[in-house]
Amino acid sequence: MVSLVVVAVFLLQGALFQPPQAEAFKILPTDESLTHQQITEAAFLRKMVEVCRNVATARGKDFTLPINSKLTVTTVQKACSNSYSSSLKLSTFNLAIIQTSLSNAAVDLKVFSTAHHFDDEDFINGRDLITQGVAAVKVSIKNRNYLSARSILGAVCHTLQDFYSHSNWVELGSTAPFSSLIKPELPLNNLASSNTKTCKSCVGEDCRDNILPEVLQQKMLTSGYFHPLFPDKPAGKCSHGSALDRTSSTEPTGGINKDDISSDHGFLHQQAAEMAINATMELLEDIRLATGDQDFLRLMGLSQTSVLAFVIDTTGSLSNYIAEVKRVSISIIDSRRGTSEEPSEYILVQFNDQDFGLLIRTGDADRFKEQINSLSASDSVNPGMCLSGLLLTLTRAPPSSDIFVFTDASAKDTELKSSVEAMIESTKSKVTFLLTNSTSTRSRQKVSLSRSLSQSEIQLYRDLAHVSGGQTIDVTNTTLSQATAVITDLITADLVTVLQAARNPPKAENFSFLLAPTLSNVTVYITGDSPVFTLYSPTGVSQSGSVADGPLGSILTVGNLKRVKLNSANQTGEWKISINSTSSYNLRVTGQSSVDVLFYFVKIVEGGHGDSWGQSFTRPFIGRNATFYVSVTGGDSVTVTDVLLVEASGSDVVNGTIKAVGATDFLVNIDRIPEWAFVVQLKGLLNDSSLVSRFQRQSPTQHKGSRITVMAQSQNITKPGVPLSLNFTVATNTTSGNYTIRARNDQGFSVSFPSFLILETGGSAQGSVTLTAPSDTESGTDVTFTIEAEALGSTDLNYVTLQLTVSTANAIFSGCYSLSVCLSFFFFIVCHFVCF
d(CA 168, CA 272): 10
Q: How confident is the model at residue 831 (pLDDT cuts 50, 70, 90)?
A: very low
Is the pLDDT score of 438 beyond 50? Answer: no
Contact in structure between 349 and 385 (CB atoms under 8 Å): no
Side by side, the strands of the sheet bearing 495-503 are 495-503, 585-592, 520-528, 561-566, 553-558
Q: What is the mean pLDDT of residues 44-70?
A: 90
Three-state secondary-structure class, residue 671: coil
Is the pLDDT score of 509 beyond 90? Answer: yes
Amino acid at 180: S
Question: How confident is the model at residue 444, as a pLDDT?
Answer: 40
559 Rama class: left (phi>0) / alpha (psi -120 to 50) / beta: left
β-strand pairing of 573-580 with 532-536 = antiparallel
| Mean pLDDT score across all residues of the chain | 85
Is the pLDDT score of 184 beyond 70? Answer: yes
Q: What is the mean pLDDT of residues 736-758?
A: 93
d(CA 505, CA 189): 71
pLDDT above 90 covers what percent of the chain? 52
Q: Report the Cα 784 to chain-centroid distance in Å.
A: 13
> Of 693, 516, 656, 684, which Cα lies nearest the Cα of 589?
516
Q: What is the mean pLDDT of residues 336-358?
A: 87
Q: What is the DSSP string of 134-169?
A: HHHHHHHHHTT-HHHHHHHHHHHHHHHHHHHHHBST
Q: How confident is the model at residue 664 (pLDDT cuts 50, 70, 90)?
A: low
Question: How confident is the model at residue 486, as a pLDDT?
Answer: 87
Q: In this predicted model, which residue has the larger pLDDT, 127 or 18?
A: 127
pLDDT above 70 covers what percent of the chain? 87
Q: How confident is the model at residue 85 (pLDDT cuts 50, 70, 90)?
A: low
Contact in structure between 109 and 822 (CB atoms under 8 Å): yes
* pLDDT per position as a tens digit, 352-386: 888 898 899 998 999 999 999 999 887 766 788 99
Q: What is the DSSP string of 384-403?
A: B-HHHHHHHHHHHSPTT-EE
Question: How confident is the model at residue 815, as a pLDDT?
Answer: 41
Backbone phi, then psi, for 85, in 5-degree steps?
60, 30
Contacts with 546 (C-beta within 8 Å, 6 or more apart), sequence order? none
Three-state secondary-structure class, residue 74: helix
d(CA 426, CA 729): 20
Question: How confident is the model at residue 402, as a pLDDT?
Answer: 92
Q: What is the mean pLDDT of residues 136-151?
A: 89
d(CA 525, CA 543): 14
Q: How confident is the model at residue 625 (pLDDT cuts 50, 70, 90)?
A: confident
Question: How confident is the model at residue 16, as a pLDDT?
Answer: 30
Question: How confident is the model at residue 639, as a pLDDT?
Answer: 86
Question: How confident is the model at residue 733, as a pLDDT?
Answer: 83
Residue-level length of the chain: 836
Residue 261: CB atoms within 10 Å: 17
d(CA 397, CA 345): 10
Is the pLDDT score of 446 beyond 60? Answer: no
Q: How confident is the model at residue 510 (pLDDT cuts 50, 70, 90)?
A: very high
* pLDDT per position as a tens digit, 275-315: 999 999 999 999 999 999 889 988 998 876 788 999 999 98
Contact in structure between 388 and 416 (CB atoms under 8 Å): yes
Q: What is the mean pLDDT of residues 116-137?
A: 95
Compute the C-alpha angle 712/400/389, nearest 5°.
Answer: 75
Question: How confident is the model at residue 629, as a pLDDT?
Answer: 76
Is the pLDDT score of 55 beyond 50? Answer: yes
Q: Report the Cα 284 to chain-centroid distance in Å.
A: 21
* pLDDT per position as a tens digit, 558-605: 989 999 999 987 789 999 999 999 999 999 999 998 888 778 877 776
Question: How confident is the model at residue 455, as a pLDDT?
Answer: 81
Contact in structure between 275 and 164 (CB atoms under 8 Å): yes
Question: How confident is the model at residue 8, as a pLDDT?
Answer: 46
Side by side, the strands of the sheet bearing 756-759 are 717-718, 797-806, 782-791, 737-745, 756-759
Amino acid at 445: Q
Question: How confident is the model at residue 440, as a pLDDT?
Answer: 42
Q: What is the Cβ-side half-sphere exposure of residue 289, based on CA atoms within 13 angstroms?
A: 7
**Residue environment code for 495-504, b if the CB has 16+ CB neighbours within 10 A, otherwise e:** bbbbbbbbbb
Question: How confident is the model at residue 10, as a pLDDT?
Answer: 42
Question: How confident is the model at residue 824, as a pLDDT?
Answer: 35
d(CA 465, CA 585): 12
> Of 346, 281, 262, 259, which Cα lies nearest the Cα of 311?
346
Q: How confident is the model at residue 821 (pLDDT cuts 50, 70, 90)?
A: very low
Q: What is the DSSP string of 163-206?
A: HHHHBSTTTTT--S--GGGT-TTS---SBPPTT---B---BTTB
Is residue 828 exposed (0-12), middle (13-18) or buried (19+ Cβ within 10 Å)?
A: exposed
d(CA 144, CA 344): 8
Residue 464: which H helix or E strand, with range? Answer: helix 455-468
d(CA 7, CA 597): 5
Which residues on adjacent β-strands are paired with residue 745?
785
Question: How confident is the model at residue 814, as a pLDDT?
Answer: 42
* pLDDT per position as a tens digit, 692-708: 888 899 999 999 999 99
Is the pLDDT score of 820 beyond 70? Answer: no
Compute the C-alpha angle 706/707/713, nearest 5°.
Answer: 85
